[in-house]
A and B are shown apart, each in its own frame.
Chain A
Amino acid sequence: MTDAKPILRLDGIVKTFPGVRALDGVSFSVMPGEVHALMGENGAGKSTLMKVLGGIHQPDEGAIYMGDDRVVMAGPLEAKAKGIVFIHQELSLAEELSVAENIYLGELPRKSFGRVDWTTLTDKTNAILKKLNVGFDANTLVGDLSIANQQMVEIARALTVDAKAVIFDEPTASLTDAEKSVLFDVISDLQADGVGIIYISHRMEEIFKITDRITVLRDGQYQGTVNTRETNEESVTQLMIGRKLDLTRNASHHEIGDVALEVRNLSCGKLYKDISFEVRRGEVVGFYGLVGAGRTEIAETLFGLRDPSAGQIFLDGQEVRISSPADAITRGISLVPEDRKGQGLVLGMNCRDNMTLPQVDDLKAGPFVAEGAEIAIFDQYRDQLDIRTPSWRQQVGNLSGGNQQKIVIGKWLSMHPSLLIVDEPTRGIDVGSKSEIHKLLRALAAKGYAVMVISSEMPEVLHVSDRIVAMYSGRIMRTFTSDEVTEDNLIQAISGIKADQAA
Chain B
Amino acid sequence: MQPGALSKALKSGAIWGFIVLELIFFSVAGSYMSLSDTAFMDWENMLLLLKQSAPIGIIAMGMTIVMVNGNIDLSVGATYAIAAIVLLDSMTWPIFAGLGDWVIPVAWLLALTVGTALGALNGLIVWKTGVDAFIVTLGSMLGYRGIVFMFNGENPTSHLNWTLVDLAEAEFLGLATASWFLLAVTGVVWFLMTRTVHGRNAYAIGDNRDAAVNAGIRVGPHMMINFAIIGFLAALSAVVFYSESGSVNPNDGQLYELWVITAVVLGGTKITGGAGSVIGTFGGVIAIQLLRKGLGHIGADTSTVNLVIGLILIAVLFLDRQLNVKGKEELKV
* Contacts known (A105-B204, A114-B197, A269-B329); A94 close to B3, Cβ less than 8 A: no
> Are A92 and B214 in touch, CB under 8 angstroms?
yes
Is there contact, CB below 8 Å, between A93 and B328? no
CB neighbours of A102 from chain B (8 A): 204, 211
The segment out of A213-221, A302-310, A451-459, A478-486 that lies at the interface is A302-310
Contact flags (1/0) for A233-275 with B, using CB distance below 8 Å?
A: 0000000000000000000000000000000000011110000
Interface code B209-224, partner A: CB below 8 Å = 1, 0 otherwise? Answer: 0111111110000000
A113: min CB distance to chain B, Å: 7
Query: Does B333 interact with chain A (Cβ within 8 Å)?
Result: yes
Docked CA distance A268–B197 (Å):
44
Chain A proximity mask over B1-33: 1 for CB below 8 Å, otherwise 0: 011100000000000000000000000000000
Which of A115, A143, A270, A304 contacts B329, CB < 8 Å? A270
Chain A residues in contact with chain B, CB under 8 A?
76-77, 80, 86, 88, 92-97, 101-102, 105-108, 110, 113-116, 140-141, 143-144, 268-271, 300, 304-307, 309, 324
Q: Which residues of B contact A92 (CB under 8 A)?
A: 208, 210-211, 214-215
Q: Contact partner of A94 among B196, B211, B332, CB < 8 A?
A: B211
Cβ-closest chain B residue relative to A300:
B331
- Complex-state Cα separation, A96 to B200, whole angstroms: 10
A/B interface sample: 16 pairs, CB < 8 A: A77-B216, A92-B211, A94-B203, A96-B275, A105-B211, A105-B212, A105-B217, A106-B212, A108-B197, A108-B200, A108-B201, A143-B4, A144-B2, A305-B331, A306-B329, A306-B332
Contact across chains for B332 and A324 when beta carbons are under 8 A apart = yes
- Residues from chain B with a CB closer than 8 A to the CB of A144 are 2-4
A86–B211 Cα gap in the complex (Å)?
A: 12
Given contacts A105-B211, A105-B212, A106-B216, whether A116 and B329 have CB atoms under 8 Å apart is no
B interface residues, how many (CB within 8 angstroms) = 30
Chain A contact residues: over half helix, strand or loop, or mixed?
loop
CB distance from B191 to the nearest CB of A (A): 8
Please determine whether A94 and B2 come into contact, CB atoms closer than 8 angstroms: no
B interface list, Cβ under 8 A from A: 2-4, 195-198, 200-201, 203-204, 207-208, 210-217, 274-275, 327-333
Set of chain B residues within 8 Å of A106, measured between Cβ atoms: 201, 212, 215-217
Q: How far is the CA of A476 from the CA of B196 in the complex (A)?
A: 51
Q: How far is the CA of A435 from the CA of B249 in the complex (A)?
A: 73
Contact A114 B196 (CB under 8 A): yes
> In this complex, which of B211, B274, B332 has the most chain A Cβ atoms within 10 angstroms of its Cβ?
B211
A116, B196: Cα distance in complex, Å: 5
- Are A80 and B216 in touch, CB under 8 angstroms? yes
Residues of B within 8 A of A110 (CB): 197
Which residues of the other chain, B, contact A268 by a CB distance below 8 angstroms?
329
Q: In whole angstroms, what is the CA distance A268 to B332 when docked?
A: 13
